[in-house]
Structure 1
Amino acid sequence: MRVLSRHRLCLLLAILGWSGLGIQLELVLLARWESGASVVGGLLSYFSFFTILTNTLAACVLTYAADNRTSKGKTFFLQPWVSSGIAVSIVVVGAAYSLLLRQLWQPEGLQWLANEILHDVMPVLFTLYWWFCVPKGLLRVRHIGLWVLYPLLYFAYILLRGHLLGVYPYPFVDVEKLGYALTFINAGGILAGFVAVALVVVAVDRYRGSVRSR
């Protein structure tokens, strides 16, 4: 019964995560349609945000956690080092939004709802999922090197995309307004925060793993 309840809870969290992503996608595509812009361009813009990519990964983990069937996707996403890396990323999503972006705009209606789900609710809920459901004591400091590849590759992608299109997803990495020097300083600060969160996650994992093994 306990396992069944956990699966149902993960399913509810997955539904919430996919709902937030779906609302945001609908808003992006609707805005593109109303302005007569390309829908394909809207999809590319949608997936250019670290928030969207990370919440998609988190929703995948929760979906697989709620599924009793075995699959290659489930085997990969539910590995502790994979789920933990996604937990680090989504914590950074919530922290970066609260510290750097929240004061820049005041969304309303469905946009406010999507924002709350993706930036506030899911980071907290996925962290709780990690705390209670992901096996502990299996992480090593070397895993941080693998986790860091995700934000590094993302940063390289948005720089290339911005160079080609002149559009950047976040104001603190807008090369056209800030220049490369300040952009790299900002990105370096966020990466340092990412590593700090990762170190905390590994430390907590090792501590809880040692406590359970006593």
Structure 2
Amino acid sequence: MPSPTLQLSPGGRRFVITAAMLGWFGLAVQLYLILWSRWIDHASLLGGLVRFCSFFTVVTNTLVAVALSCAVIDRHSAGARFFRSPVVCAGITTSIVLVSLAYNLLLRHLWTPEGWQWIADELLHDIMPLLFLAYWLFFVPKGLLKPRHVLMWMLYPVVYFGYLLVRGNAFGDYLYPFLDIGTLGVVRALTNALGVLAGFVGIGWIVFAIDKALGRKEHY
């Protein structure tokens, strides 16, 4: 898997550092809000941490924050090279765009967050997707993707959906209402899951097409 060193201009480096800091800040605020809510309800803080780590939004934004951090640190470990890989960055781009689209199309109308929750909500669902998309478009080398990479990226949402269904069956908490088997039934919930997966694949192919188009320009 190719993982060339990113060549960032001073301005580009400042952009990536700012984006990384915003990403970690949004995650920290969301974690605090969940743990504080659990504390107020006298519920298990460990359970709150597990719940926090179970959201697709949180997992994907963590990948975004890690990838942005790895882009500006001068380390050559296997992990840093992995997260600087154009293939991995393109896969994360596909995932974080899905986070934004799914939230805005399926979930935003269900609640009206305020205060710090609104800040975390906007950072994780709107601002970070745009910032990481910009990072991928302007700073990550292009022309290295293959069709098989789109299929490889599918493993992430497939494994996540599997985990979510097992978790929901065990605890009765499916996290996302459009995947709630207890309320919707198996057929409708799985149909919704397949619809989201189809959206992921569609976004993946668009990312692949953009990569090819920009890759040709880079070689001219």
Common fold: TM-score over 0.5:
yes
- Alpha-carbon distance between aligned partners in 2 of 1:2 and 1:143, rounded to the nearest angstrom: 25
Name which of structure 1's ranges 174-183 and 1-10 shifts more when overlaid on structure 2: 1-10
Matched, 1:26 2:45: no
2:47 alignment partner AA = G
Please give the secondary structure, in 1, of the residue aligned with 2:43: coil
**Mapped partners of 1:30, 1:2: distance in 2:** 39
Partner of 1:70: 76
Question: Which of residues 145, 148, 153 is equivalent to 2:151?
Answer: 145
Shift of 1:6: 2.1
Structure 1 residue aligned with 2:180, among 174, 181, 184? 174
Q: Distance in 2 between matches of 1:213 and 1:21?
A: 38
Structure with greater proportional helix content: 1
With normalisation by structure 1, the TM-score equals 0.98
TM-score by length of 2: 0.95
Which of 131, 134, 155 is the equivalent residue of 1:128? Answer: 134
The answer to whether residue 150 in structure 2 is matched with residue 108 in structure 1 is no
1:61, distance to aligned residue in structure 2 (A):
0.4
Q: CA RMSD in A?
A: 1.1
Amino acid at match of 2:169: H
- Aligned partner of residue 154 in structure 2, secondary structure: helix
CA distance in 2, matches of 1:120, 1:8: 20
Distance 1:206 1:2, change over 3 A: closer
- Which shows bigger deviation, 4-13 or 103-112? 4-13
Distance 2:140 2:184 in 1: 40
1:187 lines up with 2:193 in the alignment = yes
> Secondary structure at 1:10's aligned position in 2?
helix
Tell me which amino acid in the other structure corresponds to 2:146.
Answer: R
Q: Distance in 2 between the 1:106 and 1:206 partners?
A: 40
Give the Å deviation of 1:96: 0.4
Distance 1:163 1:19 in 2: 32
- The C-alpha deviation readout for 1:46-95, integer Å capped at 9, x for no partner, is 01110000000000000011112322211001101101000000000000
Q: CA deviation at 1:2?
A: 5.8
1:60 aligns with 2:66: yes
User: In the TM superposition, what whole-angstrom CA distance separates every residue of 1:119-168 from its partner, at most 9, and x where no partner exists?
Assistant: 01000110000000110000011001110000000000000001110101
User: 63-72 or 88-97: which moved more?
Assistant: 63-72
Q: Could you tell me which residue of structure 2 aligns to residue 85 of structure 1?
A: 91
Conserved 8 A contact 1:8-1:66: no
Return the match for 2:41 from 35, 44, 69: 35
Alignment-derived partner of residue 16 in structure 1: 22
Q: 1:198 aligns with which of 186, 199, 204?
A: 204
Partners of 1:61 and 1:152 in 2: CA distance = 21
| Sequence identity percentage | 49
In structure 1, the residue matched to 2:160 is 154
